[in-house]
Amino acid sequence: MNEQGAVLLLAAGILVGLALIPFGLPGLWVMVLGIVGYGWLTDFHAVSGGLMAFIIALALLGEVLESWLGFRFARRYGGSRRAGWGALVGGLIGVVVGVPVPLIGSVIGGFAGAFAGAALFEYTRARRAGAAAWAGWGAVLGRAAAAAAKMALGIVIAVSVVFAALRG
């Protein structure tokens, strides 16, 4: 494959990856795969080992942030540790259940699942609907914050690799 094909692969990986992030799908990892493909096709002239380590570290940080923020916000809004775990589990289940609905299904499913998981887990502990609803609302806010954080990390990854490709 020529240089133009490699650049098209890189651009596609970046654009598709960034588009997947708000849907709760593994957009950062699609970006990583596109960057690895670009590096492989160009004999890793522009994509160094240090840049790859940086990009993979940012993708891992995005996953940790996604899990931690939903958990943390559920707790911040009065939920227990149990509500935090409910937000995490419910959000993951919601994304999977929502996938069959084109474009917005996984987004709605992720938010609804995080809310339902946190609220249900909190209700089974506290038996208070108000507290459970607040924990669920916190989980929704955490999921939104996580999507924003992952999008910011995706932009940092994109800018880093584009600058490296332009210099390379």
Q: Hey, what's the torsion of the CAs at 45, 51, 52, 55, to 10 degrees?
A: -140
What does the pLDDT read at residue 85? 85
Q: What does the alpha-carbon distance between residue 11 and residue 35 come to, in Å, rounded to a whole number?
A: 9
pLDDT tens, position by position, 46-84: 888 889 999 999 999 998 888 788 778 877 888 778 888
What does the pLDDT read at residue 72? 82
Residue 43 falls in which region: left (phi positive, over 0), alpha (psi -120 to 50) or beta? left
Which residues in 18-45 are b (16+ Cβ under 10 Å) and which e?
bebbbbbbbbbbbbbebbbbbbebbeee
pLDDT tens, position by position, 2-19: 777 778 888 888 999 999
Residues 6 or more apart whose CB falls under 8 angstroms from that of 35 comprise 10, 13, 14, 47, 52, 55, 157, 161
| pTM for the predicted model, two decimal places | 0.79
Residue 168 has pLDDT above 70, yes or no: no
159 or 75, higher pLDDT = 159
What does the pLDDT read at residue 16? 92
What does the pLDDT read at residue 103? 67
Chain-centroid distance of CA 89 in Å reads 15
Residue 165 has pLDDT above 90, yes or no: no
Q: Predicted confidence band at 99 (pLDDT cuts at 50, 70, 90)?
A: confident
Residue 132 has pLDDT above 70, yes or no: yes
Q: What does the alpha-carbon distance between residue 1 and residue 12 come to, in Å, rounded to a whole number?
A: 15
